[in-house]
A and B are shown apart, each in its own frame.
Chain A
Amino acid sequence: DTEVTQTPKHLVMGMTNKKSLKCEQHMGHRAMYWYKQKAKKPPELMFVYSYEKLSINESVPSRFSPECPNSSLLNLHLHALQPEDSALYLCASSPRSPGQGLQETQYFGPGTRLLVL
């Protein structure tokens, strides 16, 4: 089973709101990722968590705050977003972490479509 789940599926928020996106996997994967995808563009990496620790931040603005409470769960906290942050946010996981000498396949969730008004 290679299932990554994400909630909510859709989210509309104002620029002053605080919201969170949730991602979950029960495959025992040790690396989890957040990607942002604008319409008609490929996904762009935002964060990588390796063994529940943040290992990569691709220069993402601080209004995006990731959190990994345990090995199965990854959150993305949103605060004071801008309309240009409207996008599809994809979560992914892989069995082992980057840097371990093996490049594992990343399995993606269905995404959260975010609209910032």
Chain B
Amino acid sequence: AQKVTQAQTEISVVEKEDVTLDCVYETRDTTYYLFWYKQPPSGELVFLIRRNSFDEQNEISGRYSWNFQKSTSSFNFTITASQVVDSAVYFCALLSLKGSSNTGKLIFGQGTTLQVKP
């Protein structure tokens, strides 16, 4: 079975604080991809990052960083020095090459709502 768990339903921080969004996934496949999407109130899902199961290097993009650890099946997302514009729902998603190869079906977590207060 494939599953993505985002245990944090809602997080509220004050601007300039650092915040980490957790993502834990389950899959029996050896080849898979993990994604993070941001969904602001406008509704559009904005692609942030994609990682494949063979690349465990952490990645940093400006204030965003991602920590991928296969040993704990986690793909956590950290925003440094948060800003009000970071307020959104963040989804972690899994795409398994074997399980989804004929569907392209993203397995989404339930999402984490991040509120950044000024």
Q: Provide the residues of chain B in CB contact with A42, threshold 8 Å.
A: 91, 93, 108-111
Q: Provide the residues of chain A in CB contact with B104, threshold 8 Å.
A: 31, 33, 48, 56, 94, 97-99, 103-104, 106
Q: Provide the residues of chain A in CB contact with B37, threshold 8 Å.
A: 108
Whether B111 lies near A48 (C-beta < 8 A) is no
| 23 intermolecular pairs with C-beta atoms under 8 Å apart | A42-B108, A43-B91, A48-B103, A56-B102, A56-B103, A56-B104, A94-B104, A98-B101, A98-B104, A99-B101, A101-B97, A103-B33, A103-B100, A105-B35, A105-B47, A106-B47, A106-B104, A107-B47, A108-B37, A108-B45, A108-B47, A110-B43, A111-B43
- The answer for the CA separation of A88 and B39 in the assembled complex, in Å, is 12
B84-118 CB contacts (< 8 Å) to partner A: 91, 93, 95, 97, 100-106, 108-111
Give the total number of A-B pairs whose CB atoms are below 8 A apart.
71
Which residue of chain B has the shortest Cβ distance to A104 in the bound complex?
Answer: B104
Q: Provide the residues of chain B in CB contact with A105, threshold 8 Å.
A: 35, 47, 50
Assess whether A113 is interfacial by the CB under 8 Å rule: yes
Whether B102 lies near A99 (C-beta < 8 A) is yes
Assess whether B55 is interfacial by the CB under 8 Å rule: no
Which residue of chain A has the shortest Cβ distance to B108 in the bound complex?
Answer: A42
Assess whether B61 is interfacial by the CB under 8 Å rule: no
Whether B105 lies near A110 (C-beta < 8 A) is no
Q: Which residues of A contact B (CB under 8 A)?
A: 2, 31, 33, 40-43, 45, 48, 55-56, 58, 88, 90, 92, 94, 97-99, 101, 103-111, 113
Assess whether B30 is interfacial by the CB under 8 Å rule: no
Q: Provide the residues of chain A in CB contact with B110, threshold 8 Å.
A: 41-42
- The answer for the CA separation of A11 and B39 in the assembled complex, in Å, is 20
- The answer for the CA separation of A101 and B52 in the assembled complex, in Å, is 13
Which residue of chain A has the shortest Cβ distance to B52 in the bound complex?
Answer: A103
Which residue of chain A has the shortest Cβ distance to B105 in the bound complex?
Answer: A45
A17 to chain B, nearest CB (A): 22
A68 to chain B, nearest CB (A): 15
- The answer for the CA separation of A2 and B50 in the assembled complex, in Å, is 15
Q: Provide the residues of chain B in CB contact with A33, threshold 8 Å.
A: 104
B17 to chain A, nearest CB (A): 24
